[in-house]
Amino acid sequence: VLSGCGVYDGTEIHEASAVLVHLSRGGAEVHMYAPDVPQMHVIDHSKGQPAEAESRNVLVESARIARGKIASLAELTTADHDAVIFPGGFGAAKNLSTFAVDGKDCKVNREVERVLKDFHKAGKPIGLCCISPVLAAKVLSGAEVTVGHEEEEGGKWPYAGTAGAIKELGAKHCVKEVTISFPAHVDMKNKVVTTPAFMCETALHHIFDGIGAMVKNVLKLTGK
């Protein structure tokens, strides 16, 4: 499930690509979806500032990553899929929810909430990375997730405050590394698998490997 195209106003592209590579390596058949809604705003990624008077559609922008093969999130059903994965990027906190603005009081997009609840009810695994675990924390009561560490540690974990918000949402936060040794948290009860990814300032290959561990655990939980 994508949230646009670009780290500051949509899906983090490296994360989406890593998820797709690891799913391909795992032999999974992949279908991509995104909500057909306007973005919260548009960011000029060369300046890191909002592009005034510009608007974009989340589904249309996500199609850039999907190479055109994408459908509206309203069409996603549990019956046709064994698992669902949400890459990160600020789109998860801006377009899939209002977490970037409202924090613990955020609202989750109606279709995103439906998908999370449907997969959870069906006992099918849910994978999330980077900031997207806040979606599960908000929607799935008592879920265990990780966004990495709970202290900034000199800038290594610049978004460490997210862990506190996750606790305020009623979820359990589990401290995890981004590296391959301890890269993902598996909540066996809820079948939710999370990894920090770009919540950590580290080398790209560590993030790629951590996402690989998340994907591997999601596929394992499908039992196929």
From 5, 106, 129, 130, active-site residue:
130
Active-site residue, 5 included: no
In angstroms, the CA 23 to CA 57 distance is: 26
- Cα atoms in the 13 Å half-sphere on the side-chain side of 178: 21
The C-alpha R_g of the chain, in whole angstroms, comes to 16
Sign for the CA dihedral angle at 120, 139, 184, 84 comes to positive
Non-local (6+) Cβ contacts of 199 within 8 A are: 88, 130, 131, 147, 148, 157, 158, 159, 160, 162, 178
Question: ∠ CA 48-70-54 to the nearest 5 degrees?
Answer: 30
Q: How remote is the C-alpha of 8 from its chain's centroid?
A: 14
Give the active site residues: 130
